[in-house]
Amino acid sequence: MVKEPRPASNSPIAKLLLSGVKGCIVVSHVRLASHGEPSYVNTHPFIRRLYGCEWVFAHNSDVSGIMGDSEFMLEYYFPIGDTNSDYAFCYIMDNLRRLGTGIGDIGRVSRVIWGLADKIGDYGKFNFLLSNGDYLFAYMNVSGTLYYLLRHPPHRGYVRLLDEDFEVRLEEIKKPNELAAIIATKPLTNEKWNLLS
């Protein structure tokens, strides 16, 4: 995990990552510091271990009302920083921990995550990415606030970032048989993005 509490525009780490990041699942988060001080512990993504597996969480929006509600008391996982995002993640992890050996049943895990997300989402817009390294869960509760893009072979042509003068040729960075799914709060490139529903 690589993160820092600094704007991406003047981040040496962000500049280093422009050379490329490879992985089966990559969770990236550029955040406007709306809650909590800009510090390493308040910087996304957050990570916790559960039954020998690392879970990663990144969230945007505000569900800070759960932090004072007795219905959302934490038992095992606790925030390191003071963001509502870290708190929501700990609440999800507490509940996933209760699955015990059922944590291997992806259908059951998905239903638990969706139920918890709906409950937390009653406190405001709640968009997040959650992964255990094998699966990526994307959730949104306000229509029009999360987009996705599917890339599949043949990879041809140039892709340009919308907010920066940066362009790549897909066939130079993608393997001939590589598939990719990208999820973001707004379209990032000049490709055809779809609203998550």
Q: What is the residue whose two structure tokens read 């490329």?
A: 20
Query: With b meaning 16 or more CB within 10 Å and e meaning fewer, what string describes 70-99?
Result: eebeeeebebebebbbbbbbbbbbbbbeee
pLDDT above 90 as % of the chain: 57
Angle formed by the axes of helices 106-121 and 84-97, nearest 10°: 140
5-57 confidence digits (pLDDT tens) = 666 666 766 666 666 666 777 676 665 555 566 675 777 688 999 999 999 99
Give how far Cα 197 sits from Cα of 136, 138, 188, Å.
16, 11, 18
Rounded CA gap, 10 and 28, in Å? 17
Tell me which of 55-59, 64-68, 116-120, 155-159 is least confident. Answer: 155-159
- The mean pLDDT of the chain is 86
Average pLDDT for 145-172: 87
For each of the domains in the chain, give its residue range(s) and CATH number, in order of start: 8-139 (3.60.20.10), 147-195 (no CATH)
Please tell me the pTM assigned to this model: 0.84
